[in-house]
Structure 1
Amino acid sequence: MQKILYIAASPRGAASQSGKLADAYLGARRAAEPDVAIDRLDLWQETLPEFDGDKAAAKMTFFGQGEMDAPRRSAWDEVVAIADRFAAADEYVLSVPMWNGGIPYKLKQYIDIVTQPGLLFGFDPQEGYRGLLTGKTARVFYTAGVFAPGAPAKYGTDHHSSYLGWWLDFIGVTEVETVRFQPSLMTADPAGDQARALQRASEIAMLPA
């Protein structure tokens, strides 16, 4: 049985455009695969810990700096619990609006918590970094209210999909499908663009997972 972790990065609930795309995808997946397990992680309802000094110090012990004492171990155990939930999934579904050219800060906080040495990535002085996740897939739904691909730079720059694409590759998730609904002020038919994006979201649910 496939396990999906759905990471909802918008605080807008039912009004979220990226959430609507993700819901279309997940609905089609449920219809095609009734026993699929979906773990919904709403970043705006979840209590995410601060990645504070103890957690940062615990992380650095993996690079030979300091010792994993009791406070650092306690902090690290909290990180491991969150990362284990992430790593347990076979597939990641992310609904991600663009905020100021990038991703919402709650998603960045979550990424900073789970992206840890020995959990999601490894490091070798000779080989460099490598992702530790294998056999995972991702479906990412991008939305924006101003930026659109191909629009002039005055309508924004994409640090949104470029960052998330880099991160997924960094941790070892290389099979990624994306859907965009990003109308700009120059978009002639935003309603049509949305309908096509929703259709695409449903279609990629039929792709092999």
Structure 2
Amino acid sequence: MTRLLHIDASARPGSSEDDRYGSHTRRLSARFVRRWRALNPDDPVVYRDVGQTPPAPVTGRWIHAAFTPPDRREGWMGETLAESDALIDELLAADIIVAGVPMYNFGPPAQFKAYIDNIVRVGRTFGFDRARTGEPYWPLLADAGKTLVILSSRGDYGYGPGGRMASANHVEPGIRTPFGYLGVTDVASVAIEYDEFADDRLKASIAAAEAEVDRLAATLSDRRNGRAAA
């Protein structure tokens, strides 16, 4: 059984599939999950909408609590870290993380950055020991076999590798880097472009992205179930 964690980060509440002003990333993430459930109907899915209910941003009290050893924490520290603990528990339980993350001003939404800041936690998702020989930091999820699927959207075009705007794309790199720091290095991504043009290029980009999402879901399902991809 494969456990999915489905995360949406768009500020738009609806899906562009049935809402003219809806989110393309919600469209893609929902499509991935529908496709997965069609192939694996018994697999559990946990849903987290950080776009509509963003995690609290990290504060000085959060940092104080997180870097205090658990056996020395005061009561308020546990309360301060409760939301972070819940988000980390969801992440630890998941085999595949499906993240719908649009591009806002060349990077991920602030809501998703708050999510990342809450899950990158010393002692829970990465280790640190200043007395350790060599590198004092190490990932705690490196052997967990997790896969991250990033489903994005962009108003302009050419943000993919080798594209005219590739150097300005801080969405996928801004997600891959912290997740890789935790040990999640198996990453796939799909994106819709041309949203601001609203013409046939957008339609073609949506169609291509949906086809890629379907292919990716099938490929990952085959891999998880020990089948060779067709």
Give the TM-score taking structure 2 as reference length.
Answer: 0.80
Structure 2 equivalent of residue 74 of structure 1: 79
Q: Does residue 8 in structure 1 map to residue 20 in structure 2?
A: no
Secondary structure of the residue that 1:116 maps to in structure 2?
A: coil
Structure 1 equivalent of residue 61 of structure 2: 54
- Report how many aligned residue pairs link the two structures: 204
Q: Per-residue deviation at 1:139?
A: 1.1
**Structure 2 unmatched runs, 5+:** 16-21, 225-230
How far apart, in 2, do the equivalents of 1:42 and 1:2 lie? 20
Secondary structure of the residue that 1:179 maps to in structure 2?
A: strand
Distance 1:179 1:120, change over 3 A: same
Structure 2 equivalent of residue 169 of structure 1: 180
Structure 2 equivalent of residue 86 of structure 1: 91
Structure 2 equivalent of residue 130 of structure 1: 138
Deviation sequence 1:97-120 (CA, Å, 0-9, x none): 000110000111111112101111
Q: Per-residue deviation at 1:19?
A: 1.4
Q: Is the 8 A contact 2:126 2:181 kept in 1?
A: yes
**Structure 1 unmatched runs, 5+:** none
Q: Does residue 159 in structure 1 map to residue 170 in structure 2?
A: yes
Q: Which amino acid aligns with 2:138?
A: R
Q: Per-residue deviation at 1:181?
A: 1.4
Secondary structure of the residue that 2:168 maps to in structure 1?
A: coil
**Structure 1 consecutive aligned stretches of length 4 or more whose deviation exceeds 4 Å:** 184-188
How far apart, in 1, do the equivalents of 2:57 and 2:195 lie? 35
Distance 1:185 1:54, change over 3 A: closer
How far apart, in 1, do the equivalents of 2:169 and 2:54 lie? 28
Deviation sequence 1:18-44 (CA, Å, 0-9, x none): 111112211111111111111111113
Distance 1:97 1:121, change over 3 A: same
Cα RMSD after superposing both structures:
2.3
Deviation sequence 1:45-101 (CA, Å, 0-9, x none): 436234223211012325xxxx53332233234432331122111110001100011
